[in-house]
Structure 1
């Protein structure tokens, strides 16, 4: 009899959806984990004869998927959830959100907002966030303390904020934060210029140069509204995307968020340059910003990911809801019921997100050698019965309340719906205190 190999963790699941290969559902399979990595994916019967796990988790009514990746979010803004609803984007931003932020923004606000967001994301099966907000030093430190994977945006905007007062200071502080996370197992960085309408050509040119030197992405709100495009045309005679092309930013490091107002030529340019597009359907719908032509992007070969945007404009961090909305909206926009099917929606929320943020070699699919970022979803609930097709059920019927267990880098972060390592009562107390302070301001 051959000797069994000792390993840290073995998860036996009724179904495993590895995402790569595409649209595959494996029945009665086990994922074997040693330290932070997946070392095997094989039928349960074979796994039981080959491995001796220190911890065995049996999920007989569950599907195991890669942890979901929220490819665009402003997680400190979780503390502004529901503050100013039912308003158009620029009124919402300039008359409500920015003034509220100015009164409370600081390290403590950022830390507590991120902690609340992490708790919500873990309970929804999300294991990685592409973050875009001020005080990235605090954001990164908070994610690291909580053991949550994140790409932390290095903000650049052409007016003073609590984070930086001048263009030079934005870049100096960006460099310091980037350097502080070099080699970190869970935290990496990206430049996060706010939008073409708030960032100068000079700043964009510096970002392009530094992005090349540091080999990090550029995470940018792009073509979110028709108003933004008209204003840029008045100012420079160019559409914002044309301006980005002229400045050399349209390349495989660009993460273009929203892209609701695009031409066929711009879609083709994204495909040929290797641009990743992040679709935020619920935020776009709520702010009446327009419709990202998701299926056109997909058919053109553009890497299309999914994000929630921030809680101030969504109002949640529910990637299951976002997948469903993305798939349904894509069908309506394309006028094709077969457009953006369930497998494509799940891929956009996992492996495509990993590719957008430069982490496709580490996360986004259940493959040997990748990090063990995993989410288990219980499909025995009455809301997902009867069960004919696992992928369809995940995207079109499943709710985030069915997420039972979550691992990041092999460490359990959610066990039978209970958060590990987060003092929920203390966190909610701080959240209520922020609510009082913001309401009074």
Structure 2
């Protein structure tokens, strides 16, 4: 049997082996790069990593000039049709539909996608993650186009999609107790509805209880952004996380609007505020830390908080973690997230490495540091030692990268070539829990090529509604003007 004959979405029968020119493996002495080795898989586990396996296998597939590696762990994984793309050249945010105007609030916010569209976009986004070698994901979506928070129904559908497609996920509907509103004069302020936020938490707890014991799905609590939360909501969230034994993800220390809002509301930065509430803990995943102070970072370190580094989306908007090397030297656990389209972990590692070197110099960070952040450090944040690694006994969560791609020749060290000479588009296969979830651009459970047209139509329909939720209600052409003046080809 050829590798291309393996059925998508299934585990090959018996023990089977992947041979390749290079394998990233984990040993008791640390991470190593093996030349001319193989991985043997049985059911959902790795049985062997090393030189040629001398035992019996049902099939052996030689991937040739490929890098076989642990699948990526993405702790801020895009799970919608990314509205941050609309902000690339369109600012300020309060005039471009990214802060609700009071007039929209007065008429009543509403869901801009149907339940079917919400379910579809998560399935498509999960497919994109698998295309990029991401095997474990904590999905994230925008609440800008939502009525308020996310729903249990859409996340139940997301859990079913993840298990159908073969993606390991930590899921929880996002909830909030408030949001930013801009009035007719352009002044922004935070408005709160704490009972609504607490009900969102209760719904999320109920969902988490339903997810206990599922195959590829684990619960997570996901309060939205720190400026949309109250002290009561955050304290009850952390208590619930202890009861559920699950992680909590909260975006904070990520931008000037948040920083100024939290300072105005609480007289201190977000990490300081959470520390004063007793809400910093090893359960907390904290994207993005780009405006964190030195004292904030010390609070993270002292409380075991994981910083989720999302360099691509940060640098697109003029921000940067200052810096990866500094946080690493402090002993803070640094994991990775994509948080934007494309959800390309390889590109994120490249941007993160370059941003760190711009800030701290050439020798401040290496490809190995970034690769560890995208794999084993993410697993550590989730309190898992059986993902993000390639060793006997670990989960068979594996990514295979084409090292013979003509666009990245000449090849040097395969990990360095991958990070600084490629993108996620060289991902040849993604295996999750021993199942072949993606091969050569084909994803289990979805026709990505056919879904592409539906994705664009759905996103275009959302853009048409932007005037309703933009200050002054200008036309789309004014909110999102083209890069150059348009001409009609007719």
TM-score, with length taken from structure 2: 0.80
Q: What displacement does 1:424 show?
A: 2.9
Which residue in 1 is equivalent to 2:19? 12
Q: What displacement does 1:223 show?
A: 0.3
Which residue in 2 is equivalent to 1:402? 426
Structure whose CA Rg is larger: 2
Secondary structure class of the residue paired with 1:268: helix
Which residue in 2 is equivalent to 1:130? 138
1:103–1:345 distance in 2 versus 1, CA, 3 Å: same
The answer to whether structure 1 residue 342 and structure 2 residue 364 are counterparts is no
From 345, 356, 361, the equivalent of 2:385 is 361
Q: Which runs of 5+ in 1 are unaligned?
A: 1-5
The answer to whether structure 1 residue 120 and structure 2 residue 97 are counterparts is no
Identify the range of structure 1 (250-259 vs 171-180) with the bigger mean alpha-carbon deviation: 171-180
1:19–1:121 distance in 2 versus 1, CA, 3 Å: farther
Which residue in 1 is equivalent to 2:477? none
Secondary structure class of the residue paired with 1:188: strand
What aligned pairs does 1:44-55 form with structure 2 within 5 A after superposition?
Answer: 44=52, 47=53, 49-50=54-55, 52-55=56-59
Secondary structure class of the residue paired with 2:251: strand
Q: What displacement does 1:143 show?
A: 1.5
The answer to whether structure 1 residue 268 and structure 2 residue 298 are counterparts is yes
Which residue in 1 is equivalent to 2:333? 303
Which residue in 1 is equivalent to 2:99? 94
Secondary structure class of the residue paired with 1:173: helix
Is the Cα–Cα contact under 8 Å of residues 75 and 310 in structure 1 kept in the other structure?
Answer: no
From 54, 57, 60, the equivalent of 2:61 is 57
C-alpha distance in 1 between matches for 2:252 and 2:312: 16
CA shift digits 1:94-138 (9 cap, x unpaired): 159x99x94423432221111221222222111121113423333
C-alpha distance in 2 between matches for 1:273 and 1:285: 27
1:365–1:55 distance in 2 versus 1, CA, 3 Å: same
1:11–1:362 distance in 2 versus 1, CA, 3 Å: same
1:298–1:144 distance in 2 versus 1, CA, 3 Å: same
Is the Cα–Cα contact under 8 Å of residues 12 and 59 in structure 1 kept in the other structure?
Answer: yes
Is the Cα–Cα contact under 8 Å of residues 10 and 56 in structure 1 kept in the other structure?
Answer: yes
Which residue in 2 is equivalent to 1:421? 445
From 229, 238, 252, the equivalent of 1:208 is 238
From 315, 330, 338, the equivalent of 2:356 is 330
From 157, 160, 166, the equivalent of 2:176 is 157
Which residue in 1 is equivalent to 2:284? 254
Secondary structure class of the residue paired with 2:65: strand
Q: What displacement does 1:234 show?
A: 2.2
Q: What displacement does 1:245 show?
A: 0.2
Kindly report the root-mean-square deviation, in angstroms, between the aligned alpha carbons of the 2 structures.
2.4
Q: What displacement does 1:362 show?
A: 2.5
Q: What displacement does 1:290 show?
A: 4.3
Which residue in 1 is equivalent to 2:208? 178
Is the Cα–Cα contact under 8 Å of residues 18 and 366 in structure 1 kept in the other structure?
Answer: yes
Q: What displacement does 1:338 show?
A: 1.1
1:425–1:37 distance in 2 versus 1, CA, 3 Å: same
Moved over 4 A (4+): 19-23
From 71, 93, 115, the equivalent of 2:75 is 71
CA shift digits 1:251-310 (9 cap, x unpaired): 111101000112223222222221100011111112224434211111111110111113
Is the Cα–Cα contact under 8 Å of residues 69 and 349 in structure 1 kept in the other structure?
Answer: yes
Which residue in 1 is equivalent to 2:88? 85
Is the Cα–Cα contact under 8 Å of residues 22 and 343 in structure 1 kept in the other structure?
Answer: no
CA shift digits 1:312-336 (9 cap, x unpaired): xxxx1111100100111011122x2
Q: What displacement does 1:165 show?
A: 8.0
Secondary structure class of the residue paired with 1:104: coil
CA shift digits 1:327-358 (9 cap, x unpaired): 11011122x20122100101111111122233
Q: What displacement does 1:388 show?
A: 2.7
TM-score, with length taken from structure 1: 0.89
C-alpha distance in 2 between matches for 1:381 and 1:149: 28
C-alpha distance in 2 between matches for 1:19 and 1:307: 22
C-alpha distance in 1 between matches for 2:99 and 2:319: 16
Secondary structure class of the residue paired with 2:389: coil
Secondary structure class of the residue paired with 1:261: coil
What aligned pairs does 1:272-287 form with structure 2 within 5 A after superposition?
Answer: 272-287=302-317
Is the Cα–Cα contact under 8 Å of residues 172 and 207 in structure 2 kept in the other structure?
Answer: no
CA shift digits 1:195-247 (9 cap, x unpaired): 22100001011111111111111101010013322322222211111110011
Secondary structure class of the residue paired with 1:396: helix
C-alpha distance in 2 between matches for 1:280 and 1:89: 22
Q: What displacement does 1:169 show?
A: 2.2
The number of aligned residues is: 420
From 272, 278, 301, the equivalent of 1:242 is 272
Is the Cα–Cα contact under 8 Å of residues 153 and 219 in structure 1 kept in the other structure?
Answer: no
